[in-house]
Amino acid sequence: MPPHGVLHRYYSEPAQRQSVVNGLFDDSARYYDRVTGLMCLGTGLSYRRQALRRVGVGPGSRVLDVACGTGQVSRAAIPLVGPTGYVLGVDPSTGMRRVAAARGVTAVEGTADRLPAADASVDVVVMGYALRHAADLRAAFREMRRVLRPGGVVLILEITAPAAAPARFLLRLYLEWIVPPATWLLTGSRRARDLMSYYWDSIDRCVPPAMIMEAMRESGLMEVERRRCLGVFNEYSGRAPVSRP
């Protein structure tokens, strides 16, 4: 189950999606932190750190940061896990991994449905604002469950357009009509502007939260929950069974 249908403004068939999206992120990587700082609506490092704490990330935790980008979630996790834990980022974009490495994050190539990690090897799998870029939700969640140790947790941070028309209009006004032009003015990069336009289009077309949670349950995750912040930011969490079948 894809998180959204084909976005014809950017690619014409599903097989083109990954290369097109990788290209947008590669070309925008050096601007990414600056631009997302503009659009974060007050949720930044502290929010990510609080979300990680809520699912139990602490000293000694083994954390896999999927679609890590420039390492924003990883950087929030590193002080929490301390010297006895570890944080590994995974991302398909060479440009993003390069910036993450410059920020002190260890990042390797991979996608949500093909994670470079052994079975039952991590305590927490986290994905920050990137679920919309996955090829298949069920495949991604099955793979996340595979690498989780028994009792480990999946945490998905995502932006969801509100169901109420007035609130949805305001979010669209900001993310479609303000952020992309502001990005172009801030960076001078049309590709960075296009990435921000893609952000809104993927948010607007994303499957509803109930379908995301059902895909998590179908993968075998338990105690699936959704926590909302400011009506837009969502934390989806689920736990791997304590004993494997």
Sequence-ordered list of residues with C-beta below 8 angstroms from that of 30, at least 6 positions apart, any chain: 95, 99
Quote the pLDDT of residue 59.
Answer: 98
- Flag whether the pTM goes above 0.75: yes
Alpha carbon distance 106, 54 (integer Å)? 23
Q: How many CA atoms lie within 13 Å of 9's alpha carbon, on the beta-carbon side?
A: 9
Longest dimension (CA), the chain: 54
Quote the pLDDT of residue 244.
Answer: 55
Alpha carbon distance 210, 199 (integer Å)? 21
Quote the pLDDT of residue 231.
Answer: 82
Helices (H), 132-232: 137-147, 165-172, 179-187, 190-205, 209-218
User: Does domain 14-162+199-239 correspond to CATH entry 3.40.50.150?
Assistant: yes
Q: How many CB atoms lie within 10 A of CB 124?
A: 26
* pLDDT tens sequence for the chain (245 residues): 999 999 999 999 999 999 999 999 999 999 999 888 776 654 578 889 999 999 999 999 999 999 999 999 999 999 999 999 999 999 999 999 999 999 999 999 999 999 999 999 999 999 999 999 999 999 999 999 999 999 999 999 999 999 899 999 999 999 999 999 999 999 999 999 999 999 999 999 999 999 999 999 999 999 999 999 878 889 999 999 997 55
